[in-house]
Chain A
Amino acid sequence: DADVTQTPRNRITKTGKRIMLECSQTKGHDRMYWYRQDPGLGLQLIYYSFDVKDINKGEISDGYSVSRQAQAKFSLSLESAIPNQTALYFCATTVPGQLSYEQYFGPGTRLTVT
């Protein structure tokens, strides 16, 4: 299985601050994703990337930006955090190939914006 790590695991920040969440994976998967989880809403896609030069918006990208620094690293930034961005954030990767729907998730980052 993919080894997907996320840092930090928990973060409390103030409204208006810039914050970056980081994701790293060690299996060489080409596709990486950022999801947001809110209670009662499941997971929603923020951004996804197929390789270093291919970044795409998901359904809820407003207020977020991403950077794919290398194949193994995919960072999510909140340029100016607001309280309704308080949520659990997950990074995920998929294996290359035809059946690349199965996703491997990191442990999540719990972000609180006060």
Chain B
Amino acid sequence: AQSVTQPDIHITVSEGASLELRCNYSYGATPYLFWYVQSPGQGLQLLLKYFSGDTLVQGIKGFEAEFKRSQSSFNLRKPSVQWSDAAEYFCAVGAATGRRALTFGSGTRLQVQP
């Protein structure tokens, strides 16, 4: 069965600083990987996804992520964080079975200091 680990429960960065959120997955084949963001009181919004091809993927709001098969990682990055980026971020992997459901990590809460 697939699994996702987000090692950092909570991260605080200063506005304008760079950001990297870690995600490690366990999966037996080529994974389908996603990052979602959840703002307070809101649903989940897709930031970016990786299915195949270029291992560096660009998403919305200036985010990018890099798939590294050798490290089983799909870390999310942003060069300059804004105050509005404060939210919870979830990494997810697509299920191997036909149900096509997602397996989520436990999330990383990002706090942005002025």
- CB within 8 Å of B: which residues of A? 31, 33, 40-45, 48, 56, 58, 90, 94, 99-108
- CB within 8 Å of A: which residues of B? 4, 9, 32, 34, 36, 42-46, 49, 51, 90, 92, 94-95, 99-102, 104-107
Chain B residues near A43 (CB-CB < 8 A): 44, 90, 92, 102, 104
Instruction: Report the Cα distance A50→B102, complex, angstroms.
Output: 15
Q: How far is the CB of B32 from the nearest CB of chain A, in Å?
A: 4
The contact of A101 among B4, B90, B102, B104, by CB within 8 Å, is: B102
Instruction: Report the Cα distance A79→B95, complex, angstroms.
Output: 28
CB nearest neighbor in B for A41:
B106
Chain A residues near B102 (CB-CB < 8 A): 43, 45, 101, 103
Instruction: Report the Cα distance A103→B104, complex, angstroms.
Output: 12
CB nearest neighbor in B for A91:
B43
CB nearest neighbor in A for B91:
A42
Report whether B43 and A31 are in contact in the complex, using a CB–CB cutoff of 8 Å.
no
Report whether B34 and A102 are in contact in the complex, using a CB–CB cutoff of 8 Å.
yes
Chain A residues near B43 (CB-CB < 8 A): 90, 105-108
Q: How far is the CB of B39 from the nearest CB of chain A, in Å?
A: 11
